[in-house]
Structures are given as C-alpha cells and as structure tokens.
C-alpha cells in the first residue's frame, strides 16, 4: 500500500467496492488494486449482502495472491455495549483475514484496534468529517494512516489538503458513484424520522423521496411550482473528465469507486474505465474507451459536483429521473401486459427495475429474451400493484459474455482456497477507568442562540453563539462570557478565516468554546489553561467511552453525547465517562447539513414529505441546513439525566419560518427506542 514520504505523486490505486462475492471477483477480474467491503456488523452499508469471515478469508487470500489489497469497512458509530464485540471482531480480522486496513468513522476504533494488536492501516472515513487541513499533522500520532476526503470539495481544496499532508499520511478520494446530498457524518434524516441511522449503516434514503413545496393540506397539488419533486436526490459523481488533474496531486494514493450495493457489471466496467484513465490518460483512444465503459456501467447521470470550482454545480435534478441504473424508457399498458420500448438493446437475463427506489411498490425483475432498441417488449411483471403509464424502467445489472467468462475464471481460481474457520475470541478489552468528574453547575444550561442575536439568559445559563465573522464582532466584555460554537463543518477554503477569528477571540480573553468535530481541536493552543472550557459538541457524534477517553487526552474539558442515542444508551454513558457530560434537551436539530445548495426550493419555505412530515431549509455560510418542523423537546427528562450523572444541558435556538406551523409530533428523537 503506498504511503508517500514526500510530495512526489505516486500512481493511485484503483479501489473497488464489493458488496458480495461476485462483485469481489469482478473487481479482481477488471484489475482492481484494492477492494473495500463490509462485514455483517459495523458497516455503513448494512443493506448490502456483506461478508462472513470464513468466506472472506478465501477471497482475501485470492486477492493477496493476485497482488490486491483488502480493506474492511467498520465505519459506523460504536455504541457502548458493542465495544467488546468490536474488539473481538478486529482480533479475528487480524488473525483470520490479514486485511490491509480498516475504514473507520468512530474515533474509538483507533484505541480498540491498537488494543487488538491490529497491524493494518487505519483510515478515517468521510463520515469522520475531516474537512480542513489544520488537523492533518496530528493524525499520524493517533495511528491514522489515511484520510478519505469529502465529496464536497473543489480540486483547489484537494490540492490545499495535499499541501498540508504530513509524512506517513495519504488521501483517498471518491471518483465515481452515488452522492449523498448531506455532508457525510452530518446527516440525521433517516434517524430522526425513525431511528434507522445513516451513521449506523441503515439509512432509508429520505433524500431520494419526492417532496411537495408547501405544508399539506394547504399546499396545492399539481401545477409547475407545486408538484412533488426530488429536490435532494443527487446524480452520480463522475470525475473521469478530470483524472489528469487528479494524477498531479501529491499524496492522493487511492481513487475510490462507490457502489457496495451495485452489481458485478457496474464494478467490472467502472474499475476497467478508471484503470484506463490512470494508466493511459494521454491516449485519446483510451479515454474514449473509458467513457464508453462508464456509459454502460448502469449508474445515474454524472456530475462533477463542486470539483470544478468555476461551475459550483448543484448535483441535483429536481425535474428529472435520479433512480440508479440506465433509464430505458417508460411503461406502457395493453390489456394483459406491461410494455416498454427500450432505449438500448436488451439481453436475456438482464435485471430491470420498475420505478424508483423511494417508491415502496417498485419491483426488480429479470427478462428472459433479447430485445432490440425501440422494439415493443413485454415485461414479466408480477408485482402486487400495477405501475401506472409513464413509470420509468431502469437497466440495473446484466451478465455480458466477457464478464461471465471472467467471473467463471475467478470462481475456478477461488476453489483452490479453503478458507479459515472462525475461532472464538476469549480476550476481553479493559475499559478505561474514569476519574470522578466534578459537576458543572456553572454550565447547567448551555444555550446556543441564533446567529447574530444576543441572549438575555438568566444567571444559570451560559450564553452560546454560533461562531461567524458577524457574531464575533461584539465587545470584549460580552465575548468573554460567551460559549462560542464552531460550525459542524469547516471547509478548507474557510479554515484560515475561522482560525484567525478564534485566535483573535483567544487574544481578547475568550476561553469558552464548543467544537463540533473532534478535529476542530487543532484551532486551539496545544496546552489549554485551567480556566479554558473546550467542549466537544453534539455534532461530534459521541456514543462510547473510548471516544470520550480520546477527547479527554486531546484536551477537551467536557463533552456532549450524541442526541441520536436511545434512552438506555444515553443514561448509561456518564458512569464510564472521564469528562463531564452534557446533552441537547431542546431545539431544532437539523436532519442534515449540505454544501450543495438548493435548486427549485427557496430558503424558509416549508416542504412536505409523502408521509406529511414538514421541513424547511436555511443557508448559513456555505452550508444549507435542513430542519424538521418539530423540535427536540426532552426537558421533562432532565431529572433522569441529572440522576444518571449529566452535568449540563443545551438548548438550540432556531427561529421557525412564519409560514410553517409545528405539527403534533413528539420531539423525542430516539429516546423511546434503541438506535438501530
């Protein structure tokens, strides 16, 4: 695995997704340098088939003999009760799989993997939210060998990150595949609606749904302005046209293809295309061939998102189709059949999908005959609900002769490998022994108030302000009494500005700050005085004691537990914590934060989901915050939280748009059920 020791560019690996064994073999057949895949647990794609350890040991041995590396995704939040299971799994991976790296979201795995004597690399996922360069120098000392860069960057920002990259660290960048509208690690949409957390690999993709402008039943149905649209459903990322620029960026060691829920056809074509673009970028014929391969990879329409900074594209298409797969055409009916005139030739055993993924009745089917382009073709549909005329049909997977032959070759090779059976792990991981935490009566309520507004809070309240150039322009006397909340995302092109504001506030005597990513620690002095309050905020997604221990070692003086957790998990954490703990008990918690902006939807205008849930969007700085119309309200749980050991609470103030009225839905988040 390449780990550059200077700024000299190296040939990046082509990193392929593998959601099942067929995709794994397809990636090897296409010449992938490395593969990433998930297990049955702790994977951010829990709906993919994923792998068992015995099966994976065979595949891993085959890959290593073919000169390819294998990375395991353990990129979910780790709950406190899962720590021992996580430890045992990493021990088994080290002994049984010999994988080359772990892709992680939760900082706790840095310590857990070290305790398990894991010898591979530790890679911080996009979900870990490393979005600015100031922290990079500190990561190798924590055991981090690679950072997977956000998909919201520009090429200039990727270069800026590379300029700050220290020895022993490299970067991985998504070059192709599905995009999320919200920033990785900053999407709570699926969880807020029903406990299926995207940070736990169980996202139900509410961003792919159609939303109605206005608040039903008052929103008018029909009409150009008010029809339901997929305002947040993104096109697929495709950086094929800028691979020449990517090749010149130092420390960019891996080109990553998204798609652990895609089929072997997609994997095979994408790997082959990007391998051509990497190895023969100056060859016009190779670039043309790569383009043809990607056109038949069966993804959505492509976008460069924000990577071409002069365009600043919003990668959504509210009026178009954004279902995965190649759009073939639309359904027609006769008396007995569903019919289609395909936009491309169909082959027997092709897999089709009728409708989009967000429609509950959508069906996948396999056709049993060839069909020519434009030929009126019946579909073997057996669904319960007949789709209406005009329903789109997508080609989602196929088995071409070359691919079938390649898979057969590698299946024959795989038969030579026996695999290693899983053995029980009897070791136990010792939990940190926290020192008794002193209470924080001076922080009983930590109120974050709207940007640019001062709070006339009572004596028990600690005033909170979101940090911005405007909010920081207040008197020194007031500034010293404020808890300054850093935004949940700081982008490379604004990190210098935030660093300067923080230094000026520090110079003026301000010592109270809430960092909303662990890596924002880099904006503050290495040694903090006793009187400084550096709090790890609620967007740090804290769910277990090892993360709290790391935050304590980094110099944080208090922490706020993730509001995503359920009651049992929330109440259990204080007895393990080395830090005083706080919790968000009231306020509008965003279901997601995006850098992509809005198309066909205005700020502060309510919009409604197919189930009648109301939301609105609001821009702050470079980001769009999406809010539900029902706030968190756990104030009646404060006595339980205090009894469990919590020291302070936060109330997040956000003014609701005047056109949006709060529906009668309880603001309990996941309090009454366990986070899945």
* Class of residue 168 by CB neighbours under 10 A (exposed 0-12, middle 13-18, buried 19+): middle
The pLDDT of residue 450 is 44
Confidence of residue 532 (pLDDT cuts 50, 70, 90): very high
Q: Does position 474 have pLDDT exceeding 90, yes or no?
A: yes
Here the tokens at position 264 are 């072997």
Pick one of 3.40.50.2000, 3.20.20.70, 3.40.50.2020, 3.40.50.1820 as the CATH number of 13-205+232-298+405-414. 3.20.20.70
Domains of the chain: which residue ranges?
Answer: 13-205+232-298+405-414, 326-397, 441-652
Residue 192: phi and psi, rounded to 5, are -65, -30
For 229-271, the pLDDT digits (tens) are 999 999 999 999 999 999 999 999 999 999 998 999 999 999 9
Of 382, 406, 561, the residue nearest 29 (C-alpha)? 406
Pick one of 3.20.20, 3.90.550, 2.60.40, 3.40.50 as the CATH number of 441-652. 3.20.20
Within a 13 Å sphere around the CA of 573, how many CA atoms are in the beta-carbon half?
30
Q: Does position 585 have pLDDT exceeding 50, yes or no?
A: yes
For 591-633, the pLDDT digits (tens) are 999 999 998 899 999 999 988 999 999 999 999 999 999 999 9
Express as a percent the part of the chain with pLDDT over 70: 90
Average pLDDT over residues 512-528: 96
**pTM strictly above 0.85:** yes
579 beta partners: none
**Residue 427: count of CB within 10 angstroms of its CB:** 12
The pLDDT of residue 452 is 39
Among 58-67, 460-469, 500-509, the minimum mean pLDDT is found in 460-469
CATH class of segment(s) 326-397: mainly beta
**For the chain, what is the mean pLDDT?**
89
* Class of residue 339 by CB neighbours under 10 A (exposed 0-12, middle 13-18, buried 19+): middle
Cα(470)–Cα(473) distance, integer angstroms = 5
For 91-115, the pLDDT digits (tens) are 999 999 999 999 999 999 999 999 9
Average pLDDT over residues 654-661: 80
The pLDDT of residue 164 is 97
Average pLDDT over residues 49-65: 92
Confidence of residue 309 (pLDDT cuts 50, 70, 90): confident
Contact between residue 75 and residue 46 where contact means Cβ atoms under 8 Å apart: no
Contact between residue 48 and residue 12 where contact means Cβ atoms under 8 Å apart: no
The pLDDT of residue 324 is 82
Average pLDDT over residues 424-430: 89
Q: Does position 506 have pLDDT exceeding 90, yes or no?
A: yes
Confidence of residue 440 (pLDDT cuts 50, 70, 90): low
Same fold, 13-205+232-298+405-414 and 441-652: yes
Q: Does position 224 have pLDDT exceeding 80, yes or no?
A: no
Of 495, 491, 473, 490, the residue nearest 482 (C-alpha)? 473
Sheet with 326-330, edge to edge strand ranges: 326-330, 392-397, 351-354, 363-366
The pLDDT of residue 453 is 40
Cα(39)–Cα(73) distance, integer angstroms = 7
For 158-196, the pLDDT digits (tens) are 999 999 999 999 999 999 999 999 999 999 999 999 999
Highest mean pLDDT among 49-63, 322-336, 516-530, 660-674: 516-530
The pLDDT of residue 223 is 44
Confidence of residue 10 (pLDDT cuts 50, 70, 90): confident
Would the CA dihedral through 242, 247, 250, 252 be positive or negative? Answer: positive
The pLDDT of residue 222 is 45
* Class of residue 507 by CB neighbours under 10 A (exposed 0-12, middle 13-18, buried 19+): exposed
């Amino acid at each position: 695995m390449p780990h550059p020791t200077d700024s000299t560019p190296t040939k990046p690996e082509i990193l392929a997704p593998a959601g099942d064994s067929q995709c794994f073999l397809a990636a090897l057949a296409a010449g992938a340098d490395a593969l990433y895949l998930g297990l049955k647990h702790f994977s951010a794609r829990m709906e993919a088939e994923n792998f068992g350890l015995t099966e994976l040991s065979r595949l891993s041995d085959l890959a290593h003999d073919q000169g390819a590396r294998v990375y395991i995704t353990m990129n979910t939040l780790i709950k406190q009760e899962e720590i021992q299971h996580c430890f045992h799994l990493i021990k088994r991976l080290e002994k049984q799989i010999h994988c080359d790296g772990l892709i992680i979201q939760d900082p706790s795995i840095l310590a857990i993997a070290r305790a398990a004597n894991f010898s591979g690399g530790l890679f911080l996922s996009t979900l870990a939210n490393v979005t600015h360069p100031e922290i990079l120098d500190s990561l190798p000392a924590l055991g981090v060998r690679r950072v997977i860069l956000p998909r919201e960057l520009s090429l200039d920002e990727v270069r800026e990150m590379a300029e700050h990259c220290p020895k022993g660290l490299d970067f991985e960048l998504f070059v192709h595949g599905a995009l999320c509208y919200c920033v990785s690690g900053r999407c709570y949409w699926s969880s807020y609606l029903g406990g299926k957390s995207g940070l736990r690999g169980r996202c139900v993709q509410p961003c792919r749904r159609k939303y109605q402008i206005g608040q039903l039943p008052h929103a008018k149905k029909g009409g150009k302005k008010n029809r339901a649209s997929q305002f947040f459903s993104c096109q697929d990322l495709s950086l094929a046209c800028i691979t020449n620029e990517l090749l010149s960026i130092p420390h960019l060691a891996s080109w990553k293809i998204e798609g652990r829920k895609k089929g072997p056809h997609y994997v095979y074509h994408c790997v082959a295309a990007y391998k051509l673009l990497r190895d023969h970028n100056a060859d016009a014929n190779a670039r043309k061939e790569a383009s043809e391969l990607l056109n038949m990879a069966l993804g959505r329409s492509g976008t460069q998102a924000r990577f071409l900074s002069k365009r600043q594209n919003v990668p959504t298409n509210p009026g178009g189709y954004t279902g995965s797969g190649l759009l073939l055409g639309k359904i027609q009916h006769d008396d007995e059949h569903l019919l289609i005139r395909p936009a491309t030739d169909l082959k027997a055993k092709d897999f089709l999908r009728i409708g989009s993924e967000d429609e509950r009745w959508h069906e996948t089917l396999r056709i049993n005959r060839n069909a020519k382009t434009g030929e009126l073709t019946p579909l073997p549909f057996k669904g319960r609900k007949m789709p209406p005329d005009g329903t789109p049909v997508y080609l989602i997977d196929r088995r071409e002769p070359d691919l079938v032959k390649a898979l057969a070759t590698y299946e024959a090779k795989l038969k030579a490998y026996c695999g290693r059976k899983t053995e029980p792990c009897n070791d136990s991981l010792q939990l940190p022994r926290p020192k008794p935490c002193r209470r924080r009566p001076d922080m009983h309520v930590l109120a974050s108030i709207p940007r640019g507004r001062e709070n006339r809070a009572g004596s028990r309240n600690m005033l909170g302000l979101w940090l911005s150039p405007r909010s920081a322009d207040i008197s020194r006397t007031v500034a010293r009494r404020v808890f300054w909340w850093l935004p949940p995302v700081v982008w490379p092109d604004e990190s210098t500005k935030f660093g300067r504001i923080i230094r000026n506030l520090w110079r003026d005597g301000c010592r109270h700050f809430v960092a909303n990513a662990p890596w924002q620690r880099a904006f503050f002095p290495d040694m903090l005085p006793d009187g400084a309050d550096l709090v790890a905020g609620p967007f740090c997604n804290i769910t277990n004691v090892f993360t709290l221990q790391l935050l304590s070692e980094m110099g944080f003086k208090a922490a706020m537990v993730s509001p995503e957790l359920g009651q049992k998990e929330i109440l259990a954490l204080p007895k393990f914590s080395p830090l005083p703990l706080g919790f968000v008990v009231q306020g509008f918690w965003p279901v997601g934060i995006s850098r992509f902006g809005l198309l066909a939807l205005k700020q502060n205008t309510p919009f409604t989901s197919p189930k009648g849930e109301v939301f609105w969007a609001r821009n702050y700085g470079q980001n769009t915050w999406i809010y539900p119309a029902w706030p968190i309200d756990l104030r009646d749980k404060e006595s339980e939280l205090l009894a469990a050991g919590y020291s302070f609470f936060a109330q997040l103030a956000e003014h609701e748009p005047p056109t949006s009225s709060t529906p009668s839905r309880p603001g309990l988040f996941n309090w009454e059920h366990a986070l899945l």
